[in-house]
Chain A
Amino acid sequence: MASEEGQQHPLSVYFWIWGLLFVLSFFSYMVDYMNFQGNLRWGLILLFMFLKAGFIIAIFMHMKWERPALKLAILGPPVAILVLIWLMALEGDYIEDTRLEVFGESELEVVAPHH
Chain B
Amino acid sequence: MSEAVVEAGDANTIVNDFSRDKQVFGVPWGKAMMWIFLLSDTFIFSCFLVGYMSVRISTTDPWPLPSEVFALSFGGDPIPLILIAIMTFILITSSGTMAMAVNMGYRKDRKKTFWLMVATAALGASFVGMQAFEWTKLIMEGVRPWGNPFGAAQFGSSFFMITGFHGLHVSAGVIYLLVVANRVRNGFYERRGGNYEIVEITGLYWHFVDLVWVFIFAFFYLW
| Nearest A residue (CB) for B147 | A108
Q: Mark A78-115, 1 if CB is under 8 A from B, else 0.
A: 10010011001101110110011001011010111101
Question: Given that A33-B80, A60-B99 are contacting pairs, would A100 and B24 also be in contact in the complex, using a CB cutoff of 8 Å?
Answer: no
Chain B contacts with A in 48-90, Cβ cutoff 8 A? 50-51, 53-62, 64, 67-69, 71-73, 78, 80-81, 85, 88-89
Which A residues are CB-close (under 8 A) to B69? 113
Check A69 against B50 for contact (C-beta < 8 Å).
no
Q: How many residues of chain B are within 8 Å of chain A by beta carbon?
A: 75
Majority SS at the chain A contact face: helix
Chain B neighbourhood of A22, CB < 8 A: 89, 92
User: B106 in the interface, Cβ–Cβ < 8 Å?
Assistant: yes
Contacts of A89 in B (CB 8 A): 53-54, 57
Closest chain B CB from A99 CB (angstroms): 5
Contact yes or no, B50 A18, CB < 8 A = no
Q: Cβ of A67 and Cβ of B17 under 8 Å apart?
A: yes
Q: B18, B47, B92, B106: which contacts A5 (Cβ < 8 A)? A: B106
The answer to whether the Cβ of B193 comes within 8 Å of any Cβ in the partner chain is: no
- Residues of chain A contacted by B80 (CB below 8 angstroms): 32-33
